[in-house]
Amino acid sequence: MNSILMQTVTSLNGAAWDWIFCGAFLLLLIFIGLYARAIPQGKGLWWGLSALLGVLVIAGMAVGEGILRIVLLDTAAFVAVALVWNGNSAKAKAAAKTYLILMIVAIGFLAAGQYLAGENGTAPAFPLDKIAAGLLIIGFSLKLALIPFYFWLPNLAEHSKPMTTVLVVSVVDIAAFSELAFMRSSAPWLFTDYAVLWLIVALLSMFGGALGALAQKNIKRMLAFSTIDDMGYLVLGTLAGSVYGLNGAMLAALSHAFCKFLLFGAVGVVENKLGHDLTLDDHGIAAQFHVSAVVFIAGALGMIGVPPLFGFIGRWRLYLSGLEYGGVALVLTMAAATALALLYYVRVIHRVWLGKPSQEVAKVNEPALASFVLIALTVILLVVGLFPGWLTSLIG
């Protein structure tokens, strides 16, 4: 038996991960900025808020674990609310309102929960442990849009500009997830004592997210449910708590952040040209949007962890951690959820992108800068997926 497999992590290589996330977020923000230059996402206020959000998140990751990080990341969440509000449409404002209310609840619950949990890494005395656990589980579930606390995300994704959504799901959400992952080391009791609850939340998110995605006609809304689905895997890896589980979850979180940029980015290019939301009623648009089609397919395959894209590097670790934690049954359950994810992505790829166009159409000139950014990131994900050693050597 390989002893390292059975070893539960007592402390994640936090410093290394902080810097990896800093680098990843910086790269992502640059890409978002370049994309927004090509396809406007908002006026001056949008740029200002996006820059502020970026600074807060990167600073939050750079300062290391502690109260300052929590304050910075929570502030970033409120800036994200302002960004959604900046979308101007009534539906965007309604989505921002829901997001704001639920973030206030989430942050309140998390703050109270962390206060009650204390900093010594052990569970507080009864009944404070129960209260703290309930607050933290609900708080994180709300912040990460896990089922059953996902209500803010689908409408936000549907009614916001694509890069606004990317800032929320790929930056704010992933930074929040890193908090949860670090908590696996700093408050292990929260996971070991309430493992069943976490497992239920993770599995509900995986299957519920996938089924939710299958039910959607609007593509951005479908992508929101795929985020929920993916978060389930990340929580499961965190719950497993082994080296492979935690590192797998962190790597998968990085992949998630980049793949979501590709997916929303591709949809954004098409919607910008077509002038309406992309839905299952659109057909064969790959004939017009070559680059976006390639990028969307790459993003979808990356999301479900198909090699040789980067998503696989996190995914196989997550499956291994599932095996360690729940045996063959759990790993096959995870595979079944991934099969559902494949089905909803394949449905969109083949109904919306590939196949015969609804009418004879000419190829569209996709904005060069946006295309460059999307293709560059696709190539990066492919290269890192083929040669991940340099990255994984950093995490030890």
Partner 1 sequence: MNLIVVLPLGLLGVGILFQLILGKVLSVKWKGWFAFLFGILALASTLTMLPAIIHGQKLDQTLFIWDQNVAVQYHVDGLSLIFALMATGIGSAILLYCINYMAHEPEGTTRFYVLLLTFIAGLVNLVFSANLILVYLSWEIIGLCSYFLVGFWYKEEKAAAGAKKVLVMTHIPGYGLLAGILLIYHSTGTFVWTDPSVSAAFTTGIFVLMLVAAMAKSVMFPLHTWIPEAMNAPTPVSALLHSACYVKAGVYLIARMYSFAHWPHAWNTLVITLGCLTILVGALFALAQTDMKRLLAYSTISQLGYIITGLGLGTNLGIAAGLFYCLSHGLFKGTLFLCAGAVQHSTGTRDMRKLGGLASRMPWTARIWLIAAAAIVGVPLTNGFVAKWLLLDAALNANQMIVVIVAWLVSVITAVYMLKATVSVFYGDMPEWLQKAKVHDAEPSMLAGMGILGSLCLVFGLAPQLLFKALVAPAADALGFHSELTLTWLGLQTSSAGIQVTLGAAIVLVAALLGWLVFSLVRSKKTTEPVSGVFTGGDPLPAQSTMNATDFTVLAENNLAIAYKITDPDRVYVPLWNGIKGLAAGIDKAIRPVSDNYPLWATIALAVVVFIAVWLL
Interaction residues for partner 1, span 275-314 (CB under 8 A)? 284, 286-287, 301, 306-308, 312-313
Contact between 20 and partner 1 per CB under 8 A: no
Nearer to partner 1, 51 or 335 (CB): 335
DSSP per-residue codes, 44-78 = HHHHHHHHHHHHHHHHHHHT-SSHHHHHHHHHHHH
Contact between 156 and partner 1 per CB under 8 A: no
What is the CB neighbour count within 10 angstroms for residue 152?
25
Applying CB under 8 A, which part among 47-55, 64-72, 142-150, 263-271 lies near partner 1?
142-150
Q: Could you say which of 130, 192, 273, 369 contacts partner 1 (CB under 8 A)?
A: 130
Contact between 111 and partner 1 per CB under 8 A: no
Contact between 67 and partner 1 per CB under 8 A: no
The dihedral of CA 46, 143, 344, 252: what is its sign?
positive
Contact between 4 and partner 1 per CB under 8 A: yes
What's the distance, CA 186 to chain centroid? 22
* Inter-residue contact 39 to 268 (CB < 8 Å): yes
Q: Which two tokens stand for residue 194?
A: 């309430």
Residue 265: burial class (beta carbons within 10 Å; 0-12, 13-18, 19+):
buried
* Inter-residue contact 25 to 171 (CB < 8 Å): yes
Amino acid occupying residue 388: P
Interaction residues for partner 1, span 194-213 (CB under 8 A)? 194, 196-197, 208, 211-212
Q: Could you say which of 14, 33, 193, 279 contacts partner 1 (CB under 8 A)?
A: 193
Exposure of 115 in the CB half-sphere (CA atoms within 13 A) = 6
Which residue(s) pair with 279 in the sheet? 218
Q: Could you say which of 11, 89, 122, 350 contacts partner 1 (CB under 8 A)?
A: 350
Contact between 116 and partner 1 per CB under 8 A: no
Which residue(s) pair with 218 in the sheet? 279
Q: Could you say which of 51, 67, 215, 368 contacts partner 1 (CB under 8 A)?
A: 215
DSSP state of 86: T
Contact between 87 and partner 1 per CB under 8 A: no
Nearer to partner 1, 4 or 66 (CB): 4
Residue 96: its H or E element: helix 90-117
Applying CB under 8 A, which part among 137-145, 180-188, 267-275, 365-373 lies near partner 1?
137-145
Give me Rg for the CA atoms of the chain: 20
* Inter-residue contact 146 to 205 (CB < 8 Å): yes
Contact between 240 and partner 1 per CB under 8 A: no
Which residue(s) pair with 273 in the sheet? none
Q: Could you say which of 78, 151, 189, 372 contacts partner 1 (CB under 8 A)?
A: 151
Applying CB under 8 A, what is the total number of residues that bind partner 1? 67
* Strand, coil or helix: 242: strand
Q: How far is the CB of 52 from partner 1 (least distance, A)?
A: 26
Contact between 10 and partner 1 per CB under 8 A: no
User: Rounded to an integer, what distance in angstroms lies between the CA atom of residue 381 and that of residue 391?
Assistant: 12
Q: Return residues touching partner 1 (CB under 8 A).
A: 1-2, 4-5, 98, 101-102, 105, 130, 133-134, 137-138, 141-142, 148-152, 154-155, 193-194, 196-197, 208, 211-212, 214-216, 284, 286-287, 301, 306-308, 312-313, 316, 319-320, 323-324, 328, 331-332, 335, 338-340, 342-343, 346, 349-350, 354-357, 387-389, 392-393
